[in-house]
Structure 1
Amino acid sequence: MTQSRPPVVAMPLRVRFHECDPQGIVFNAHYLAYFDMASFEFFKAIFGSYDALRERHVDCVVAESNLRYRAPSRFDDELVVEVAIAHLGTTSMILAFTVRRGDDLIATGTNRYVFVDARTLAKAAPPEDVRAKLLAHT
């Protein structure tokens, strides 16, 4: 899945040696870590920080991840992880991630986040002001 809308953020990163497997390519699970890192940059871009979201008593938990590998990346590659909102529901949101090395598409994927009350961790729709800030990027 490639993004159909412009990314909210494009996070650069350089592949570190310890992220590579014995074949010399990035171990598959690290892409989910890259998605996680980029998601915090996404929340920072929209809300100023993830803590600002939590101050509104809103938190997000990952309920589902999907990932498709397109090409390998290796130690010292310079990657960019782009993040866009693919779907905004009442109590969940899907972020779409695209990992590129220059013009090369490396990986694509999504995370479905469920909104929860930061105090109780019970599923809860975000307040309207939080939803409005997210809607501005859909």
Structure 2
Amino acid sequence: MQDYIFEIQLKVRDYECDIQGVVNNAVYQNYLEHARHEYLSSKAISFKELTEKEILLMVSRIEMDFKNSLTSGDTFTVKLKIERQGLKLIFFQDIFRHSDDVLCLKAKVEVIAKINGKLSRGEIFDTLLL
């Protein structure tokens, strides 16, 4: 995947690993979410302020393809690009390990918006993110 619009570098912490010594699969969702929130922040958009205005951005579906494992102490980069598809904003996110630049995870995250409790037609994504 090319044409990434944002990336963030992170490091695996010991407590994120399971008994096999690799990052627990659920932890990858935390990495992906952190990258999305930092992307919003880079656009001067506060997730907290949106919530206070009753604009709720929510994951409706997530697909993760595990390619290679991260282990304790690994540094890695989460890269993303976005695409609008109807009511949804799609985040395509990839995680690369630094030591060998190997792809560890490919993810597709579908996000919807509710405004004042009602499902948005997605126009909020045009004004906020694109």
Shorter-chain TM range is: 0.7 to 0.9
Partner residue of 2:59? 62
Residues 47, 53 of structure 1: 8 Å contact kept: no
Q: CA deviation at 1:41?
A: 0.7
The size of the alignment, in residue pairs, is 128
The TM-score, its normalising length taken from structure 1, stands at 0.81
Cα deviation, residue 12, structure 1: 1.3
8 Å CA contact 1:46–1:134 kept in 2: the answer is yes
2:108 maps to what in 1?
A: 110
Which residue of the partner structure matches residue 92 of structure 1? 88
The answer to whether the aligner puts 1:13 opposite 2:21 as a matched pair is no
8 A Cα contact 1:97 1:109, kept in partner: yes
Letter in 1 for 2:102: D
User: CA contact under 8 A between 2:60 and 2:110: conserved in structure 1?
Assistant: yes
1:79 paired residue among 52, 55, 76:
76
What residue is the counterpart of 1:101 in the other structure?
Answer: 97
- How far has the Cα of 1:37 moved from its partner? 0.8
Calculate the TM-score normalised by the size of structure 2: 0.86
Query: Do 2:77 and 2:95's aligned partners in 1 also have CA atoms closer than 8 Å?
Result: yes
Kept after mapping to 1: 8 A contact 2:112/2:122: no
Question: Which 5+ residue runs of structure 2 have no aligned equivalent?
Answer: none
Q: Give the gaps of 5 or more residues in structure 1.
A: none
Which AA in structure 1 matches 2:119?
K
**Residues 1:39 and 2:36 are matched in the alignment:** yes
1:123 aligns with 119
Q: Secondary structure at the match of 1:110?
A: strand
Provide the identity percentage. Answer: 22
**Whole-angstrom CA distance in 1 between matches of 2:75 and 2:88:** 31
State how far apart, in whole Å, the 1-side matches of 2:2 and 2:77 are.
Answer: 17
CA distance in 2, matches of 1:127, 1:63: 17
Secondary structure of 2:104's aligned partner: strand
